[in-house]
Amino acid sequence: MDKETGSPGLGQETGDFIFGVDLDGVVGDFYGSMRSIAAEWLGRPVESLTTEISYGLNEWGIAEYGGYDRLHRFAVTQRALYRDMKPMQDAPSILRKLSNRGIRIRIITHRLFIKYSHVASVNQTADWLDKWDIPYWDLCFMNDKTAVGAHIYIDDAPQNIRHLRGEGCKTIVFSNSTNRDLPGPRADNWQEAERLVMEAREEWKTGTSALFGL
């Protein structure tokens, strides 16, 4: 691991600044879509499901119906979650701006953890990225996001953020109710994410580390 770049090296031979981008809860409105699907699955009004959730969605009382994995399988295989979810506000347009500035977008997502749904997950993901004209150079389905590398990452899952930072990777927290206890740098929206990425690229170009301090 190169602590200066926050990357083990993959892709650096191009000389590009690499932005490692999570999808669910960062580019796609994962929790909003899951809330609607869960309401149908549970037979409850969507308004009865709180938006103040933790990782795993236990606040919705899904455990007695089979738990998160079963709900997730239903969402992907029966309701095309990854094809039909809405993007987070401004995410596609700002990713297009960043790409146009020469930043290499590397999508890194862990969507292949439910058995027997991999084909649906991969196909829906590619279709969704094309549907919303989201630019990317690389599409990586990975659990350990440090294995493919980037100069800076953005993620919302607390365990991913802790692991990335523990390995010396510069990581922006994309804010939601699952990660409020984590320290910054964080972005509450994609305008703030854009600013942080551009500042990180400037640090990379100049060799400074004022913002991320790694």
**Of the listed 2, 16, 24, 156, which one is catalytic?**
24
Burial tier of 166 (Cβ tally within 10 Å: 0-12, 13-18, 19+): exposed
Question: How many whole angstroms separate alpha carbon 17 and alpha carbon 197?
Answer: 10
Q: Supply φ then ψ for residue 119, to 5 degrees.
A: -60, -45
Distance of CA 126 to the CA centre of its chain: 15
Q: Of the candidates 182, 149, 140, 155, which has an alpha carbon nearest to the alpha carbon of residue 167?
A: 149
Give every CB contact of residue 207 below 8 A, 6+ residues apart in sequence: none
**Of the listed 22, 133, 156, 188, which one is catalytic?**
22
Active site residue 16: no
Q: Is 27:129 a contact under the CB 8 Å cutoff?
A: no
Active site residue 24: yes
Question: How many whole angstroms separate alpha carbon 44 and alpha carbon 12?
Answer: 49
Give every CB contact of residue 198 below 8 A, 6+ residues apart in sequence: 98, 101
Identity of residue 131? K
Question: How many whole angstroms separate alpha carbon 30 and alpha carbon 9?
Answer: 30
Positions annotated as catalytic residues are 22, 24
